[in-house]
């Protein structure tokens, strides 16, 4: 027996970190204003933790899609693997050359390019694709806000989100 419609359950699950962070922040405020000064010190800690969890939850909630797409994504120890109905493959994050959001495909796909192998295309709504947020966050120099903004604006072309720069600038001497 369900008390919530499936759409409401999906919305609550999508924004779960924000809701949890709000509860933690409320407990922190209650500790600060409530029983006595002794609980104010942990109350400030709870308030800071709640605000941080809300901020992280907003980013993760913006990244999560509706789901229900083709295939499944698995991220394990720096290895992104996609199991699709027609294609699939894996890419090591430490060897990733570029990350592109390709809006020319329907639905939009993440294009992970690794030197020496074909690009891995992952639909943004594939099962388990929410794990890609943490995987992409490990890429050096990735602008998370830019990635989320591009993802939520549904681009109609391919947009390069991140590209690995050369280890040393062109023409730089070693000695």
Same domain, 153 and 95: yes
Q: How many CA atoms lie within 13 A of 81 on its CB side?
A: 6
Does the residue 98 lie in any domain? yes
Specify the pLDDT at position 7: 81
Q: Are residue 92 and residue 57 in the same domain, yes or no?
A: no
pLDDT at 167: 54
Give strand pairing partners of 112: 99, 120
Measured CA to CA, the distance from residue 82 to residue 121 in angstroms comes to 8
Confirm whether 173 is domain-assigned: no
- Sheet of 96-102: strands edge to edge? 120-123, 109-114, 96-102, 158-163
Residue 76 sits in the same domain as residue 124: yes
Record the tokens describing residue 17, joined without a space.
């970190």
Mean of the per-residue pLDDT values of the chain: 88
Q: Specify if 169 maps to a domain.
A: no
Q: With respect to residue 171, please indicate whether it lies within any of the assigned structural domains.
A: no
Q: Which of 14, 41, 63 is the last residue of a domain?
A: 63
User: Are 77 and 146 found together in one domain?
Assistant: yes
19 and 59 both lie in a single domain: yes
96 and 152 inside one domain: yes
> Do 97 and 157 belong to one domain?
yes
CA–CA separation, 170 and 78 (whole Å): 28
Based on the fold, state whether residues 94 and 153 are members of the same structural domain.
Answer: yes
Which of 40, 63, 86 is a domain's end point? Answer: 63
Asked if the bond preceding 76 is cis, omega within 30° of 0, the reply is: no
Q: What is the model's pLDDT at position 17?
A: 92
- Within 10 angstroms of residue 48's Cβ, the number of other Cβ atoms is 13
Statement to judge: residues 82 and 32 lie in one domain: no
Residues 98 and 138 grouped into a single domain: yes
Cα angle 69-70-71, degrees, rounded to a multiple of 5: 120
**25 lies in which domain range?**
6-63
Residue 85 included in any domain = yes
pTM of the model: 0.76
**Count of the separate structural domains present in the chain:** 2
Q: Give tens-digit pLDDT for 50-86.
A: 999 999 999 988 887 766 778 999 999 989 999 998 8
Same-domain pairing of 101 and 59: no
Residues 116 and 46 in one domain: no
Whole-angstrom distance, CA of residue 124 vs CA of residue 69: 8
* Per-residue pLDDT band at 170 (split at 50, 70, 90): low
Secondary element (H or E) of residue 88: strand 88-92
């Amino acid at each position: 027996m369900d008390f919530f419609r499936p759409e409401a359950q999906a919305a609550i699950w999508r924004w779960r970190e924000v809701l949890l962070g709000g509860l933690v922040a409320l407990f922190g405020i209650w500790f600060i204003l409530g029983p006595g000064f002794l609980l104010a010190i942990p109350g400030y800690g709870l308030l800071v933790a709640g605000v941080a969890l809300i901020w992280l939850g907003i980013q993760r909630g913006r990244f999560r899609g509706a789901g229900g797409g083709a295939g499944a994504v698995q991220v394990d120890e720096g290895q992104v693997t996609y199991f699709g109905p027609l294609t699939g493959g894996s890419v090591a994050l430490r060897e990733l050359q570029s990350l592109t959001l390709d809006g020319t495909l329907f639905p939009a796909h993440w294009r992970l390019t690794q030197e020496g192998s074909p690009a891995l295309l992952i639909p943004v709504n594939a099962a388990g694709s929410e794990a890609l947020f943490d995987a992409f966050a490990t890429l050096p120099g990735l602008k998370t806000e830019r990635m989320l903004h591009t993802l939520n604006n549904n681009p109609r072309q391919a947009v390069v989100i991140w590209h690995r720069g050369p280890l040393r600038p062109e023409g730089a001497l070693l000695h």
